[in-house]
Structure 1
């Protein structure tokens, strides 16, 4: 299946989940707001002379704005504890605004449970909403650290891989050229999933896409905030380690090669360092960047060839035994 078609299927699945989530929350909110209407049926309506239309306008505006915030949260956030707290807090706040609005139209003092039923939702909702916003802040700090490893503050959505949500090879070349121009030390890593075609053949393209997405998320969580990871091609990922020296790059390569096994797969990892600066400045920066990527590809090809030969030798030895 082409990458664009697989990306469309992924977006369709996400949209279906969002619609299901909206349906669950929508039914819950409907129940919450229907209850006071049923209770208020026994209360007489106010005469037009008693109605304060300014209060109705302001309290109605607060209710509408609260519901708009609620719809934004429901449409923009995935399911989880933070989303539940935000939705619950906003729902209580909206319920409080709704009860204040009903109070302007009905004489509800005679309703036995009026005193606590009208006054409690708003403060309770604000407390819950505050807790949700605090947890959202903590969540956003983690997301920002991961985004820095994906984008490095250069966001161009047309240069983003639709499956892994990482930047593509063109964007990586741009970042590499900019880093070379800054004359700061750096290292390049390439990670290539071993026998990925077998995953597609045996388990299907959807399982292969899921694995690529998991590897992308895992790499983003393992790298430092100043590093950058991009999807290079197919099942290959390329990483730019800023401020790196040879021992750090080799250690990181080995850690990634060992750590990716937790995802149920194996990978080959190759790395290179740029040549000394006095030699590198003889060439244009873009040419130097392309040369580094070419050298990285050659090292990866050599490593794949050596590992393939090793597997063949092991297989022949087992046949002899």
Structure 2
């Protein structure tokens, strides 16, 4: 969400809150008597005031941190109604409101209604978070290192991918590798600008994450190149997945070159030692990555057009 939109939403919440905070006591002051100081229960004022302040803090956090949508609207409305109920309870400790039957009825409604709406919002938030968690599994595989995360696409970078590849080799489980490279991306940056190029990379990263299973992993390998690790893969499935990704990504308005490899699961053991060592596994991982890069370079060379400027226009088109 853009910052001006968030700022406007925060300003509306603050403005409405201040209006209620000042208008309601003013109306009560004009229509009901205030309690004498000996009649005031200061403990109730402290506890109900604390609930009101905390509720307002939660409301501001939700408004400032959450994106727009149904879940956010339910959370905001529920918390706002709860805060209103707490504030009315606080005023009940200061003014004698029994002389206003309408106020007595109105005072009891916001809190239960707010908690009911808030519960619905939290339940939908739970469902939303489950989807987000599945997307994060595809992106990071529970390996969270901020310095190994690409700042633009929020995917793991090449170093993080090498860590996962070593881990996969050590587990001796079958897996497949797919590498994708956006065609003529350098020319696209020159024609459309760096900002549009960054947006395309982010869109491609998000689309790839949505197309994979939760046990798979996609990383930004370098520049406009992405790499995917498919767990438990067999050759026909990896080949089919590579073709589907190459075809489906055209919906984003670009074309990609795709290569894939299917390493045989094995534990590489140093001949001079009876125990597995990290270096052979690292050599195996580097060999696999070198193989993919060589395949990609060869494919890019074979697809090199006679007139790059003409092909660049056709390679990037409006999304379908």
What's 2:119 paired with? 130
Name whichever of 17-26 and 202-211 sits farther off. 17-26
- Normalization by structure 2: what TM-score? 0.88
Alignment of 1:160-179 (within 5 A): 160-179=149-168
Tell me the CA shift for residue 153 of structure 1: 0.6
Answer yes or no: is 1:158 the counterpart of 2:154: no
Tell me the CA shift for residue 53 of structure 1: 1.1
Tell me the CA shift for residue 290 of structure 1: 0.9
8 A contact 1:270–1:300 mirrored in 2: yes
Name whichever of 197-206 and 18-27 sits farther off. 18-27
Tell me: CA distance 1:256–1:33, structure 2 relative to 1, closer, same or farther (3 Å).
Answer: farther
User: Which of 133, 141, 159 pairs up with 1:144?
Assistant: 133
What's 1:267 paired with? 256
For residues 85-142 of structure 1, give each alpha carbon's deviation from its aligned partner in whole angstroms, at most 9, with x where no partner exists.
Answer: 1111001001100000010011122235302321111111111101111110110011
Q: Partners in 1 of 2:19 and 2:292 — Cα distance?
A: 60
User: Which of 299, 302, 305 pairs up with 2:298?
Assistant: 302
Name whichever of 129-138 and 268-277 sits farther off. 268-277
What's 1:28 paired with? 16
What's 2:85 paired with? 96
Name whichever of 175-184 and 58-67 sits farther off. 58-67
8 A contact 1:187–1:271 mirrored in 2: yes
SS of the aligned residue for 1:231 comes to strand
User: Which of 53, 58, 61 pairs up with 1:69?
Assistant: 58
What's 1:181 paired with? 170
Moved over 6 A (4+): none
In structure 1, list runs of 5 or more residues that go unmatched: 1-12, 316-321
8 A contact 1:93–1:125 mirrored in 2: yes
- Normalization by structure 1: what TM-score? 0.88
Q: Partners in 1 of 2:254 and 2:156 — Cα distance?
A: 23
Tell me: CA distance 1:145–1:276, structure 2 relative to 1, closer, same or farther (3 Å).
Answer: closer
Alignment of 1:48-67 (within 5 A): 48-67=37-56
For residues 250-287 of structure 1, give each alpha carbon's deviation from its aligned partner in whole angstroms, at most 9, with x where no partner exists.
Answer: 11111111111111111111111114637x55671111
For residues 215-240 of structure 1, give each alpha carbon's deviation from its aligned partner in whole angstroms, at most 9, with x where no partner exists.
Answer: 11111111000011111111111111
RMSD: 2.1
In structure 2, list runs of 5 or more residues that go unmatched: 271-278, 312-320
What's 2:68 paired with? 79
Answer yes or no: is 1:117 the counterpart of 2:106: yes
Tell me the CA shift for residue 149 of structure 1: 0.7
Q: Partners in 1 of 2:12 and 2:202 — Cα distance?
A: 27
For residues 70-95 of structure 1, give each alpha carbon's deviation from its aligned partner in whole angstroms, at most 9, with x where no partner exists.
Answer: 12222322222111111110010011
Tell me the CA shift for residue 29 of structure 1: 3.1
Alignment of 1:284-295 (within 5 A): 284-295=280-291
Tell me: CA distance 1:116–1:75, structure 2 relative to 1, closer, same or farther (3 Å).
Answer: same
Q: Partners in 1 of 2:20 and 2:59 — Cα distance?
A: 14
Report the number of matched residues: 301
What's 2:236 paired with? 247
SS of the aligned residue for 1:142 comes to helix
Tell me the CA shift for residue 248 of structure 1: 1.3
What's 2:199 paired with? 210
Tell me: CA distance 1:20–1:167, structure 2 relative to 1, closer, same or farther (3 Å).
Answer: farther
